[in-house]
């Protein structure tokens, strides 16, 4: 078992390579890198980014699938003292343009497959330099990156975009200190065992996936990277590849146990961290019956991943609980009702620095030293957290967050749409499906297919309504406020 990297230190990968140069750092398909080899590649990339104008305090964005190159760029950002902005590869080009306008990065790096798409979508003026992230970047003559120094815990390392209730994306600024505190909290709960390998199948533009890479370097745990989740491939990695730890969302867990049937998993698999939404009780029972060591967790981007996480083995006794607050994090319930339910508030070193360029949104979210999550939950007498619902209108589909406002805005842009409302309908496979109700303008006859096709050109695939009901009016109060809970009474409490 390797010692964790602690502050103060040089960049984490540099420190790990000095301690364990020949140990395995990363496996991606048949490609493997030791910490020394990964650090050497990162040093070269840092020199090339510096040559392209990236300076300490700058931001650069990446729009590419999970790969060794993306891992290298993540560590190169820290080596340069810059912040990396990983972009959701499922976003439509128009959505990417909006995020780039908000993030104002110095560079936008992408894989070759997306180069033409972004070139066509980006405005001709006022945009960052677009660089192909492999051949073009590798052909850039490097210069000396900034001198190695001790990492500043308050330096922003990552900007991760999450949708807002108004539909405007918000860039969550996470510092070196946030990520280090999150890794330390996970380590205190799950431990680090000899022979650990962490399977990373979550998207690296989400904090749940990205945190695995940073945790791996901080704790000396090799990461096995899959570009996307495939149940057969994940099962093979667990059974034959020495995987001991894996992070999933409930939909992935469902697909994994469906693929395996009743076949038990090996005892070497010691933790399956499951977040991104509540785990249905039947799935908990089935997973435990298959000897899947599920560890429920509740977290959010604004808190650098985990807020509360069950201890290994707790899911059998408290299947609906997200567990106790992780080490160094405090949780309280604001304005609880008689049953103890209220808004979940979070405090600790994992809480973000704020939203990039949005001081008013930051002030609404961070008040009196507490992060106001907008999620509803309760604490039992022992301090375990139960999350009753995520943000009031948030739709969780397959581990992805969808806010109704951004889908409604896309629908309302259609000339045939007079009014629109979007909500989540429970779904056994995806958790929820995005569903819309639309009022058409007089004289227009656009049908469901036409409206879905319209959305397809403006939204990521997971945001497109699974079904669109054409209605004569929407339920609203006399002041015009939408009564969203009345949209689908057959599926709502």
Per the DSSP assignment, residues forming a β-bridge with 324 are 309
Count the helices and strands in the chain (H runs, E runs): 14, 26
72, 42 Cβ separation under 8 angstroms? yes
pLDDT tens, position by position, 131-160: 999 999 999 999 999 999 899 999 999 999
Residue 160: its H or E element: strand 156-163
Structure tokens at 145: 């990156």
Residue 435: its H or E element: strand 431-440
Residue 493 pLDDT more than 70? no
Q: Residues near 256 by Cβ (< 8 Å), separated by ≥ 6? A: 231, 234, 235, 248, 292
3-class DSSP state for residue 394? coil
Per-residue pLDDT at 37: 98
Mean pLDDT of the chain: 91
Distance CA 324, CA 32 (A): 36
Sign of CA dihedral 200, 203, 205, 206: negative
pLDDT tens, position by position, 308-327: 999 999 999 998 899 999 99
Per-residue pLDDT at 1: 66
Nearest in space to 345 (alpha carbons), one of 295, 294, 307, 304 = 307
pLDDT tens, position by position, 343-372: 999 999 999 999 999 999 999 999 999 999
Residue 61 pLDDT more than 80? yes
Q: Sketch out the chain's domains with CATH numbers.
A: 12-379 (3.40.50.12780), 395-491 (3.30.300.30)
169-175 and 129-132 strand pairing: unpaired
pLDDT tens, position by position, 181-235: 999 999 999 999 999 999 999 999 999 999 999 999 999 999 999 999 999 999 9
Distance CA 143, CA 53 (A): 10
Per-residue pLDDT at 462: 94
Residue 422: its H or E element: strand 417-427
Question: Between the CA of residue 297 and those of 139, 386, 430, what are the distances in Å?
Answer: 43, 10, 18
| Reported pTM | 0.86
Per-residue pLDDT at 396: 84
* Terminal C-alpha separation, the chain: 49
3-class DSSP state for residue 1? coil
Residue 14 pLDDT more than 90? yes
Per-residue pLDDT at 483: 77
Torsion of CA 350, 352, 353, 358, to 10 degrees: -170
3-class DSSP state for residue 82? coil
Question: Between the CA of residue 257 and those of 127, 260, 263, what are the distances in Å?
Answer: 45, 5, 9
Q: Residues near 415 by Cβ (< 8 Å), separated by ≥ 6? A: 441, 444
Distance CA 333, CA 224 (A): 37
Question: What average pLDDT score do residues 325-331 get?
Answer: 98
Per the DSSP assignment, residues forming a β-bridge with 379 are 385
Region of residue 442 (left: phi > 0; alpha: psi -120 to 50; beta: else): beta
Structure tokens at 61: 């964005």
Per-residue pLDDT at 376: 83
Distance CA 352, CA 156 (A): 9
158, 83 Cβ separation under 8 angstroms? yes
3-class DSSP state for residue 442? coil
324-325 and 467-470 strand pairing: unpaired
Residue 130 pLDDT more than 50? yes
Structure tokens at 33: 């890198």
In DSSP notation, 459-478 reads: S-GGGS-SEEEE-S---B-T
Q: What are the E-state strand segments in 234-353?
A: 245-248, 271-274, 294-300, 305-309, 324-325, 329-334, 342-348
Half-sphere exposure of 378 (CA within 13 A, CB side): 10
479, 415 Cβ separation under 8 angstroms? no
Question: What average pLDDT score do residues 89-115 get?
Answer: 91
Q: How many residues does the chain have?
A: 493
Residue 126 pLDDT more than 80? no
């Amino acid at each position: 078992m390797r010692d964790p990297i602690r502050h103060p230190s040089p960049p984490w990968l540099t420190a790990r390579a000095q301690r364990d140069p020949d140990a395995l750092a990363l496996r991606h398909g048949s490609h493997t890198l030791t910490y020394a080899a990964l650090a050497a590649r990162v040093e070269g990339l840092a020199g090339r980014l510096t040559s392209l104008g990236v300076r300490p305090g700058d931001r650069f964005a990446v729009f590419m699938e999970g790969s060794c190159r993306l891992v290298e760029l993540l560590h190169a950002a820290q080596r340069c003292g810059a912040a990396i902005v990983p972009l959701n590869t499922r976003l439509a080009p128009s959505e990417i343009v909006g995020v780039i306008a908000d993030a104002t990065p110095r560079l936008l790096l992408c894989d070759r497959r997306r180069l033409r798409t972004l070139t066509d979508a980006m405005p001709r003026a006022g945009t960052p330099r677009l660089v192909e992230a492999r051949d073009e970047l590798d052909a850039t003559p490097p210069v000396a990156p900034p001198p190695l120094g001790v990492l500043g815990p308050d330096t922003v390392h990552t900007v991760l975009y999450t949708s807002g209730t108004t539909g405007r994306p918000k860039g969550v600024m996470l510092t070196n200190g946030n990520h280090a505190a999150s890794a330390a909290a996970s380590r205190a709960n799950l431990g680090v065992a000899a022979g650990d390998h962490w399977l990373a199948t979550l998207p690296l533009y989400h904090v749940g996936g990205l945190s695995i890479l940073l945790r791996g370097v901080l704790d000396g745990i090799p990461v096995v990277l899959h570009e996307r989740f495939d149940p057969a491939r994940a099962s093979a990695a667990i059974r034959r590849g020495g995987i001991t730890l894996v992070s999933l969302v409930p939909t992935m867990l469902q697909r994994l146990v469906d693929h395996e049937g009743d076949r038990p998993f090996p005892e070497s698999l010691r933790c399956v961290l499951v977040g991104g939404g509540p785990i249905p009780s039947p799935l908990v029972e089935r997973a435990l019956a298959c000897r899947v060591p599920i560890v429920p967790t509740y977290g959010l981007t604004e808190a650098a991943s985990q807020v509360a996480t069950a201890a290994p083995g707790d899911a059998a006794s408290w299947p609906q609980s997200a567990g106790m607050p992780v080490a160094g994090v405090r949780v309280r319930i604001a304005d609880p009702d008689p049953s103890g339910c209220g808004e979940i508030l979070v405090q600790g070193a994992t809480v973000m620095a704020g939203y990039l360029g949005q001081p008013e949104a930051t002030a609404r979210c961070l008040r009196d030293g507490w992060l106001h999550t907008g999620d509803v939950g309760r604490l039992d007498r022992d301090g375990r957290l139960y999350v009753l619902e995520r943000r009031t209108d948030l739709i969780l589909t397959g581990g992805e967050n969808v806010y109704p406002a951004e889908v409604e805005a896309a629908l309302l842009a259609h000339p045939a749409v007079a009014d629109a409302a979007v909500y989540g309908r429970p779904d056994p496979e995806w958790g929820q499906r995005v569903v819309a109700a639309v009022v058409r303008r007089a004289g227009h006859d656009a049908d469901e297919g036409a409206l879905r096709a319209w959305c397809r050109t403006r939204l990521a695939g997971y945001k497109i309504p699974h079904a669109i009901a054409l209605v004569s009016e929407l339920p609203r109060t006399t002041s015009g406020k939408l009564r969203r809970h009345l949209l689908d009474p057959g599926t709502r409490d």
